[in-house]
Chain A
């Protein structure tokens, strides 16, 4: 029973991180109708930015998250403005393919720049834990979970209550009408993509504190983010919390009862199953 409680706690803590990973993907998909296959690669890049800040400038990984997010926002804005805006009205396959290409470019650039070695961000408090009866809660994972939830809720409030957030939602609903009300789509698309990539970068910074990073983690993280978006739906940012927790718990249970190598199989199994049963997503909008 204690073991099960521990596994559930692990799954929930992992799930919070998954939620913020998927948040950027869901935003870009919902507004720009681009499924960003390079999303995981941006998470990877964010993790490396955080790692460099910590290793060379000694900035705490949690306090450094805003810097990581700003750097990644600039990367995302420039990419959307310079490249992706050129193909945004092309057929679905073209946008899928171009982000696929970006993923390849980012992965190999990271390999050239950072080498293929595994890296971890280990702040001095990395070994600390909190004991809740028999259950151990690692400090870093709890902090990552907290930041992830705060980011997701902040994103939700931002979309609901700010001028830019309203413009983004309006564009997602109807581009023509949004333009009539003075939305400049090139800038707005770039802002949206930039915010999505900033969220990916922040997620990467958090990921680096709880797990190992190398240039090849991107593809798996993209597929997980996609699965979470599908389960949670694109309409409401809080949906990704449901999707993230669901996936985190499923993976932890699979790792315990079937075997650690099957954790990824389980998450993709869930993805394929959900797609087959409800091709438009469990709580999501219809395609």
Chain B
């Protein structure tokens, strides 16, 4: 059973890796977007799903990663990979400097503080000369979609392996303990401040790398698009819809929701946004533990699964 599962996953990765050789341009471009969103969902999974800190500000890391690449390539004429590294450094510095105070907050307060940070970043960056102020930066074009596709896929594999490692390492158990009961974790000897900050930084690293790849692919960025708040909506919904705190849930959520929204937005653009909102509302009411949990239990309980979820939380 376990060997079968590993073979299935390897086969799926292999098929995904072969897409650029037989897929159309449209499929490859859709793939890059879906893979990068899956990376963001996995990044959020580390801090939101495993550590239990619902960050509404991971778009900040994405924006910092984008600007890391853009500043390094446009202003300093450095290669792309150096830019990715610079973006990661920015994200880690941000995660530590702001994470230490903000991660002291719990529940609503943490969520709103991160949301507020996400809202001010574009206003701050549009006043920075190095980042091109509010005009933005134009990167040198590189017309190589298969390369961007494979980079995104590689990043998703690394992110997922990291999460797999979390589920069986001392560090990961520490994070889960913080999610379940933070005082309890502290009593058991978990250095909660250190663990939370590391989780925030780790989540930021993957988001920054996704942002960096996206910036070089799109070749243009401005403060509004780099620090787009609606990106938070997407990554959280994808992670929660698929199953927060599971290894493969956010990927399933990201792929399925990207595909549906792609079909919908070919009709009317704003319908896709509306769809995301409706999915969140329905998912919170009917399957608050995500698709993974639903599939597991649906076999036993059938349609009662939904009514039981409602009964558990309604007044």
Asked whether A223 lies within 8 Å of B280 as measured between CB atoms, the reply is: no
Q: Flag whether B102 is at the interface (Cβ < 8 A).
A: yes
Give 1 or 0 for each of B114-137: 1 = CB within 8 Å of chain A CB.
011101100110110000000000
Q: Decide if A105 is an interface residue (CB 8 Å cutoff).
A: yes
Binds B, one of A121-129, A203-211, A270-278: A270-278
Q: Does A90 contact B (CB under 8 A)?
A: yes
Decide: A94 and B284 in contact? CB cutoff 8 A.
Answer: yes
Would you call B278 and A101 a contact (CB within 8 A)? yes
The majority secondary structure among interface residues of chain A is helix
B203 vs chain A, min Cβ distance (A): 16
Chain A, interface size: which category? 35 or more
- Contact at B314–A287, with CB atoms within 8 Å? no
> Out of B109, B117, B236, B288, which one reaches A279, CB within 8 Å?
B109
| Segment 211-265 of B: residues with Cβ below 8 Å from A | 229-230, 233, 236-237, 240
Within 8 A of A (CB), among B278-315: 278-281, 284-285, 288, 310, 312-315
Please tell me if the beta carbons of A265 and B124 are within 8 angstroms of each other in the complex: yes
Distance between A162 CB and nearest chain B CB, rounded to angstroms:
23
Within 8 A of B (CB), among A76-122: 83, 85-90, 92-98, 100-109, 111-112
CB within 8 Å for A88 and B315 given contacts A101-B284, A279-B104: yes
- The contact of A272 among B107, B117, B126, B280, by CB within 8 Å, is B117
Q: What are the residues of chain B within 8 A of A83 when measuring CB–CB?
A: 281, 285
Given contacts A103-B277, A223-B119, contact A87 B127 (CB under 8 A): no
B-chain residues with CB within 8 Å of residue A98 when the two chains form the complex: 280-281, 284-285
Q: Is B105 an interface residue (CB 8 A)?
A: yes
Q: Is B24 an interface residue (CB 8 A)?
A: no
In the bound complex, residues from chain A placing their C-beta under 8 Å from that of B93 are none
Q: A223-B119, A271-B113, A275-B109 are in contact. Are A108 and B285 (CB under 8 A)?
A: no
Which residue of chain B is the closest to A86 with respect to CB atoms?
B314
- The segment from B39-47, B158-166, B168-176, B268-276 that touches chain A is B268-276
Please, which residues of chain A bring their CB within 8 A of the CB of B124?
A: 265
The answer to whether A275 touches B105 (Cβ under 8 A) is: yes
Q: Tell whether, in the assembled complex, residue B54 and residue A272 are in contact, meaning their CB atoms are under 8 Å apart.
A: no
Q: Does B111 contact A (CB under 8 A)?
A: yes
Given contacts A89-B313, A90-B313, A269-B120, contact A108 B104 (CB under 8 A): no
Name A269's closest neighbour in chain B (CB-CB): B120
Q: Which A residue sits closest to B272, measured CB to CB? A: A108
Chain B residues closer than 8 Å to A87, beta-carbon distance: 284-285, 288, 313-314
Flag if B274 contacts A268 (CB, 8 Å).
no
Residue contact B119 to A100, C-beta cutoff 8 Å: no
Instruction: Given A104-B277, A108-B270, answer yes or no on A268-B54 (Cβ-Cβ < 8 Å).
Output: no
Q: Say yes or no: A108-B107 contact (C-beta < 8 A), given A219-B229, A271-B113.
A: no
B113: chain A residues at CB < 8 Å are 271-272, 275-276
Interface contacts beyond A101-B277, A104-B274: sample of 7 additional A-B pairs, CB < 8 Å, sorted by A: A87-B284, A89-B315, A104-B233, A108-B273, A111-B273, A219-B115, A264-B120
Chain A: residues with CB nearer than 8 A to chain B? 29, 35, 37, 83, 85-90, 92-98, 100-109, 111-112, 185-186, 189, 219-220, 223, 226-227, 259, 261-262, 264-265, 268-269, 271-272, 275-276, 279, 287
Q: Which B residues fall within an 8 A CB radius of A?
A: 52, 54, 56, 101-102, 104-109, 111-113, 115-117, 119-120, 123-124, 126-127, 229-230, 233, 236-237, 240, 268, 270-271, 273-274, 276-281, 284-285, 288, 310, 312-315
Question: Nearest 4 pairs between A and B by C-beta?
Answer: A101-B280, A104-B277, A105-B277, A90-B313
